[in-house]
Structure 1
Amino acid sequence: MKTASIAYRVADFLRRYPPFQYLDEQELLELVAGGRVVFHEDGELVFERGQRRRPYVYVIQKGVVRLLDYTDGEDDEPHEVLRDVRGEGDLLGVGRYLGLGEHSYTARTETEVILYALPAALLWEQIKRHPRASHFLAAYFTVAITPAGLDGSSSRADELRLGRRPVDWMAQPLEPPGEPVVCQLRTPVSEVARALADQPPGAAAVVVDAEGAARGLISTRALSDRVASGRMPLAAPAERLMAPPADVLPPGLAAGRYLTRMLEMQAEHLVLTEDGRYTGPVVGVLARRDLTRAEAAAPLAIVEDMSRAGGIYELSRFLTQGQAFIAAGLTDADALRWLAPMATALYAAVLRRAVILVEGALIAEGHAVPELEHCWVFFGSAGRGELTTLYDLDHGLIYAEPEPGQRRAARGYFLELGRRVSAALAACGFVSTAKGIVSGHPSACRSINEWEIGFTYWIREPLESGVYRATSFFDMRPVHGDCSLVARLEQHILSEKERNPGFVPLLVADSMANLPPLTFFRGLVIDDEGRYTETLDVQRATLQPIVDIARALALDAGFDRGIGTLERLQALAPEDDAAGVLIRETIAAFRNALYYRTRAGLTADSDGSQLDPSNLTRLEQNLLKSGFRTVLRLMEYIGQRYGVVPRR
């Protein structure tokens, strides 16, 4: 009876913690029956680095254990380095599941400690039978290095869910549309109308040249607006009525790819060709109606409504609907693959409509409008397509260089336009903090020559100019207007970078100015020197270092497009298999941290960067801890490449 009573007490303790809480009672009792209780005094070694593993995995029942590593110091003596702090309910010795026969770290007690030593082989077999237990154990490792047989997917992990409408369907290949209506450049409009008469509402015909390349689209709306109204004769050739295709993509992509592209381009249709090129054979036309799911229709309809909003109040209501869609779809970190570009498209639609409304008001007031091409631009997280809350929508304005006598008037007009647009965005619900970039400020509203001078100063004199405060300007995305201005500025940046080879190493050094924290312990955030804080700044701990390193690497590689952090990382050619693994781990760590920031921001109506560890589950803490380790490894790898030492 006494032995049975002890077994039940141990099982009761275990079921309070994952992964054991996902096992059934009989499995727990079987596990406990094959285990033993181990007691250690303060300062004793549980195991040492390099020691052969015993056939157990340990669970801390009471006390604190430190995991230690050793590095060579300047005096060639090994220096002790703290790698983790673990307490009640935490596991020790799970590295065996990676096939490591020896311990990677030394485990030393910091207090009196009671451990439950459980049979490792039996625990492994039990965990593999339970997806949620499997997912939790996988979080002790990394996304790219997970023991074979574990289900690292979060699809069935309730701890990661905020929304109730998953966007898993976006990853599924879209069924190809039916046979397209195709006509030649000289085909009479009357024949095009007859061909489209039997098509569903919203259909379009593809106009091709003699080689079969897509040259334009004719929609049923165009026929209604221009032909049925009598503005264009039925005998007119198709090329007079067609509009250029918004974009061309290959068939068979995930539904989310088509949806996000429609949002970005504000397109009603996408042309599908065999190879995804304009010169390829046309195989279909994808219309909005083909995205039949309610979730797919929502962002498309919201963006369309935004484009017709009659005022700022109405625009703000549509933005609220868009944020509700984002929150509802935020099921896990992978959902951001689709939700982040959707949020960017929604915010871009708000900016575009606000600009149109404000420009109309200025004209009505009698302001003289300079005849200068200009482009509205997103910077920072919005420029990278990573802004998922309404905080700090960094935006600015680039306008063509005016004649010398017109510079003052042009600057006055565009600054007034920027101030009013910034105010309109604030009225819609966007919040700009002290560090935000807004078009109403002279630093973000400049002529193209002034922008080029500014970037030249940042690149040639990075220390004097304080470039570390201006790195967000290097992440730019054209939103509305003449995009060639942005292309010119991007080319100028790359040219200046080539002429100043010391600029990228300095960016790398700045990106490693702060090491990530070490671990969580009893609701606190612990750094490698044992200091603690009560909140985690997930932006500073994980997101910002990855953003800064990816930006520097992209500039070094000569990328000439303002793309996001994940795209920058994916575009890098890894030097070897280890570098490839690290890039995949970094991508997962970034997306995971962005998920928690988004979840916190949408829940608390904040920017989401400050997280309370006591409100995180153990699974969530382990996933974030894995990200800390990945950021540190990334810093060490990049530091060796550029000769920079990460520092706190």
Structure 2
Amino acid sequence: MNTIANHIADFLREYVPFNNLTFEELSTIATNIRVINLEINKTLFQIDDSLHDSFYVVASGLINLTVITDAEERILNKCHKGSIFGLRPFFEKNNYIMTARAREESVIYAIPIAVFRPFVANNTEVLNFLLDNFAVNTRNSKSNKNVHSNLISDTVAYSGQQSEMQYFQSLSYNNSPVIVTTATIVKDVAQLMAEARTTSAIISANNLPIGIVTDKDMSSKIATGQFAITVPVKSVMVSPVITVLENVSLAEAQLLMLKNNVTHLCVTTDGSDNSEVKGVISEHDLVVAQANNPGVLLKEIKHSHTALDLKLIRTRLADLIQMSIQKNIPLTHVSNIASEINFAIIKRAVEITLLKIGSAPARFAWLSIGSQGRKEQLLPTDQDSILIFEDVEPEKYREVKDYFLNLGEKTTLILQEVGYELCPNGHMASNRLWCKSLTDWTKQYNNWINTPGENNNDLSSIFFDYEIVYGEQKIEDTINEIIFKNVTNNTLFFDFLGNDALRKNAPLTFFKKFNVEEEGPYKDKFDIKTRALMPLIDGARLFTLSHNIKGINNTYIRFKQLAITLPKYAEIFLECAEAFLVLSKFRALEGLKNDNSGQYINLDELSKTDKEKLKNALAPMKELEDLIKDTFQLTQFS
């Protein structure tokens, strides 16, 4: 191997996934690598360019990946030394959907996909790396046990957790495939494929798939004269056929095609070639499926004009959430995606109303509160919101407030049509109590915090879990400042919040049995929301407010941050974080099964293992309760 190739191999072995290859394998790759020198602002590829035959690694310099969003160029990611990008040719056939441009003078290694593909197919670690990082942006580092390298994929045009949807995005496929026997002649198979307008035919024996023939086989083996058009299809078929279950995800299907170097997958009853054929997934199906990724859903939301349009999108989101739960996708990823889409739907509902009633007479902010504000709303529970408008002249106040009440009422009705039920407690922007000026909201929060319990029956802790959905960010920032200024060293307020957190009934009895409902429509069921999730939610909120932790509303992330802020109690907080995820999943599964909020768990339908898992998730709550009592010097009866 020459000196340059040796130098490249040494460089690659420092980064994942190349560190999983032997030096001999790296030497083979390095020998075929093309070195590209890019001057500043030079473009390697751009949107709509035909795909290259290579993917790229940054040897030195900086490459910006950009996309076009709302007619503006936006930086999706910055690729530093060791970053991998330009992987689209691995997974797709259509053109690039982003631009790669040198931000400074750079050296790039172009690795031919044909050379690298066998190492992906034959090395589990490399394949798993691609699967784990498929369309996900992570921070770059030299390889070690704890940090992944930077893999900047341009398989989707949306960064962050949206791309996680690839893992559980379902596929539509041809469920009426052409199925023939081994004796059928090629000419007849071609005729059947043409009539069915499909690119493949499954060859079966005893109703089981034993092979496949595709349009590619027809062109490479028949059109070239290698085989006569009158030979039995058995002569040209590819065997065995790669089989999958019908719920295979987009990412899984793409990687199976990559690993096996095929363009079609056969769907069977049990996912093996020992069961009946149900359909065929083609590369084209994967391209079509891209239309259901979160980015496309967000684009469709932006162009929606009616509640029905939004309802259809919300239904598609529910399907994706359900499939993610079934595929054991990390709940944190699913929540992030669901929250983004939920927020986009609410924002669009506000915009649709504004188009109907005319421009707002003052700047304002629409805030989601409660589970939506915490970005924990996986199921279609009720809507919670507040509206804050900027201060106006006293003589205009009533007119302006009436406008925003109208905005709140019409928007909440749209959201009700979409599938978000009205809040039974009236915590909505359509309520006169929760739609008011910034000054009035300032007074409201001052009263809640400084005189808790005094004529404050309307105080609900969900008003301290909020996230702006539409409007002026400065208004939300002002509310943040008011809250954290008032809560600092406010013993009275934390005494009130702490006792409120301790007031929830224990999830387990003295004898470690589930504390179930004793009467009413949910008799003998376990209230997982009130008895299990709310104490964790209340505890996380209490500690983050008392330790001045700003900008974090999500319960799981609050506990994670608390573990960093208060290392002495890190173990308790981390156990609470994991417990919250486990309990949230139980609730989501119950809700998806019964098409409701999942609040009441039917314990009789749980397996013994699941009951133990549920009971174990409740264990950290006693430690959290004791920590609250100790930290804030409370008793449950104070």
Into which bin does the TM-score normalised by the smaller protein fall?
0.5 to 0.7
> 1:197 offset after TM fit, Å?
6.5
What one-letter code is carried by the residue in structure 2 that aligns with 1:313? Answer: L
Per the TM alignment, residue 591 of structure 1 is displaced from its structure 2 partner at its CA by 1.1
Q: Distance in 2 between matches of 1:313 and 1:192?
A: 43
Q: CA 1:646 to 1:618, structure 2 compared with 1: closer, same or farther past 3 Å?
A: farther
C-alpha contact (below 8 Å) 1:536/1:610 kept by paired residues? yes
Q: Which residue number in structure 1 is paired with residue 486 of structure 2? A: 496
The corresponding residue for 1:308 is: 303
1:438 is matched by which residue type in structure 2? M
Match of residue 631 from structure 2: 641
Correspondent of 1:440 among 430, 433, 444: 430
Match of 1:360 in 2: 355
Deviation digits for residues 233-268 of structure 1 (CA, Å, limit 9, x no counterpart) = xxxxxxxxx556578799999x9xxxxxxxxxxx99
CA distance in structure 2 between the aligned counterparts of 1:251 and 1:322, rounded to whole angstroms? 37
User: 3-state DSSP class of the match of 2:336?
Assistant: helix
Task: State the partner residue of 1:234.
Answer: none
Residue 579, structure 1, aligned to residue 569, structure 2:
yes
1:410 aligns with 2:278: no
Contact 1:515 1:647 in 2 (8 A): no
2:377, 2:320 → 1: CA distance? 15
Distance 1:197 1:343, change over 3 A: closer
SS of residue in 1 equivalent to 2:453? helix
Q: CA deviation at 1:403?
A: 2.5
Find out whether 1:427 has 2:422 as its counterpart: no
User: 1:548: which partner in 2?
Assistant: 538
Residue pair 1:332, 1:595 contacting (<8 A) in 2 also = no
Among 577, 598, 608, the alignment partner of 1:618 is 608
Amino acid at match of 1:339: V
2:156 aligned with 1:288, yes or no? yes
Ranges in structure 1 where 5+ consecutive residues have no aligned partner: 1-172, 202-210, 226-241, 256-266, 277-281, 364-368
CA spacing shift, 1:498–1:386, aligned 2, 3 Å: same
- Equivalences for residues 76-475 of structure 1 within 5 A: 198=49, 219=67, 243=73, 245=75, 288-289=156-157, 295=169, 297=290, 298-331=293-326, 335-363=330-358, 369-435=359-425, 437-466=427-456, 469-475=459-465
Between 637-646 and 282-291, the greater mean CA deviation after superposition: 282-291
Give how far 1:557 is off. 0.8
Aligned-pair distance for 1:375?
1.8
- Counterparts in 2 of 1:434 and 1:197: CA distance versus 1, 3 Å: closer
Seen in structure 2, the aligned counterparts of structure 1 residues 271 and 300 have a Cα distance that, compared at 3 Å, is closer
CA distance change for structure 1 residues 560 and 220 in 2, over 3 Å: closer, same or farther? Answer: closer
TM-score (norm 1): 0.56
- Does structure 1 residue 505 correspond to structure 2 residue 495? yes
Could you say what secondary structure the match of 1:462 adopts?
coil
Give distance in 1, aligned partners of 2:610 and 2:491: 41
Displacement of 1:524 in angstroms is: 6.4
**Per-residue CA shift, 1:91-118, capped at 9, x if unaligned?**
xxxxxxxxxxxxxxxxxxxxxxxxxxxx
What does the per-residue CA deviation read over 1:118-150, in whole Å, with 9 as the maximum and x for residues that have no partner? xxxxxxxxxxxxxxxxxxxxxxxxxxxxxxxxx
Return the offset for 1:372: 2.0
Q: Does 1:563 align with 2:553?
A: yes
Q: In the alignment, residue 404 of structure 1 is paired with which amino acid?
A: P
Counterpart of 1:481 (choices 467, 471, 480) is: 471
Deviation at 1:601, TM superposition (A): 1.5
Alignment match, 1:535 = 525
TM-fit CA distance, 1:453 = 1.1
1:529-567 deviations in Å (ceiling 9; x for gaps): xxx961111011111011111101000110221421111
Q: CA deviation at 1:426?
A: 0.4
Change in Cα spacing, 1:174 to 1:409, as seen in structure 2 (3 Å) is: farther
What is the aligned-residue identity percentage? 20
Partners of 2:366 and 2:386 within 8 A in 1: yes
Query: What amino acid sits opposite 2:315 in the alignment?
Result: T
Partner residue in 2 for 1:593: 583
> Partners in 1 of 2:39 and 2:401 — Cα distance?
48
What is the Cα deviation at residue 275 of structure 1?
Answer: 7.6
Deviation at 1:585, TM superposition (A): 1.5
Provide closer, same or farther for how the CA distance between residues 174 and 421 of structure 1 changes in structure 2, counting only shifts above 3 A: farther
- Tell me if the contact between 2:67 and 2:157 (Cα under 8 Å) persists in the aligned partners: no
Q: Does 1:609 align with 2:614?
A: no
Instruction: Find the residue that maps to 1:288 and give its secondary structure.
Output: coil
With over 3 angstroms needed to count, the CA separation of the structure-2 counterparts of 1:220 and 1:533, relative to structure 1, is closer
* Alignment check: 8 A CA contact 1:311 1:357 kept: yes
Contact 1:635/1:646, CA 8 A, preserved across alignment = no
Contact 2:563 2:571 in 1 (8 A): no
Q: Tell me the alpha carbon deviations over residues 140-199 of structure 1, each in whole angstroms, 9 at most, x when there is no partner.
A: xxxxxxxxxxxxxxxxxxxxxxxxxxxxxxxxx999xx9999997xx7xxx879965646
Distance in 2 between residues matched to 1:308 and 1:180, nearest whole Å: 41
Residues 439-497 of structure 1: CA distance to partner in whole angstroms, max 9, x if unpaired?
Answer: 11122222221211110110011111436842101001111222121111111100011
The answer on 1:630 being equivalent to 2:620 is: yes
Give me the whole-angstrom Cα distance separating, in 2, the residues matched to 1:610 and 1:410. 42
Residues 526 and 600, structure 2, Cα contact 8 Å, conserved in 1: yes
Answer whether contact 1:520 1:613 (CA < 8 A) is retained. no
Superposition pairs for residues 16-55 of structure 1, below 5 Å? Answer: none
Given residue 512 of structure 1, which amino acid in structure 2 is its aligned partner? L
Q: Cα–Cα, structure 1 residues 616 and 195, in superposed 2: closer, same or farther, change >3 Å? A: closer
1:602 and 1:608 in contact (8 A); partners too: yes
Contact 1:598 1:608 (C-alpha < 8 Å) held by counterparts: yes
The residue identity in structure 2 corresponding to 1:387 is Q
Decide whether aligned partners of structure 1 residues 456 and 181 sit closer, same or farther in structure 2, where only a CA change above 3 A counts.
farther
Asked if the contact 2:168/2:329 (under 8 Å) is kept, the reply is no
Change (3 A) 1:583 1:457: same
- Partner Cα separation in structure 1 for residue 69 and residue 450 of structure 2: 52
How far did residue 647 of structure 1 move? 5.9
Question: Relative to 1, partners in 2 of residues 1:589 and 1:273: Cα closer, same or farther, differing over 3 Å?
Answer: closer
Number of residue equivalences: 415
Aligned amino acid, residue 431 of structure 2: H
Query: Given the superposition, is the C-alpha separation of residues 614 and 286 from structure 1 closer, same or farther in structure 2, using an over 3 Å criterion?
Result: same
Question: How far is the alpha carbon of 1:332 from its aligned partner?
Answer: 7.4
Retained in 1: the 8 A contact 2:535–2:621? yes
Q: Distance in 1 between matches of 2:508 and 2:527?
A: 13
What CA distance in whole angstroms lies between the structure 2 residues aligned with 1:406 and 1:513? 43
Conserved in 2, the CA contact under 8 Å of 1:539 and 1:609? yes
Change (3 A) 1:524 1:572: closer
Contact in 2 for aligned 1:551/1:568 (Cα 8 Å): yes
Alignment root-mean-square deviation, CA: 4.3
Could you tell me how far 1:588 is from its partner in structure 2? 1.6
3-state SS in 2 of match to 1:582: helix
| 1:626 aligned partner, one-letter code | N
Q: Provide Cα deviations, 1:337-359, integer angstroms capped at 9, x if missing partner.
A: 11112221121111111111111
Q: Which has the higher contact order (CA 8 A, sep 6+)?
A: 1
- Alignment partner, residue 122 of structure 2: none
Spell out, residue by residue over 1:401-423, the C-alpha distance to the aligned partner (whole angstroms, 9 max, x if none).
12223212211111101000000
**3-state DSSP of counterpart to 1:591:** helix
Query: Residues 62 and 78 of structure 2 are in contact (CA less than 8 Å); yes or no, is this contact kept in structure 1?
Result: no
Q: CA deviation at 1:304?
A: 1.7
Whole-angstrom CA distance in 2 between matches of 1:542 and 1:249: 43
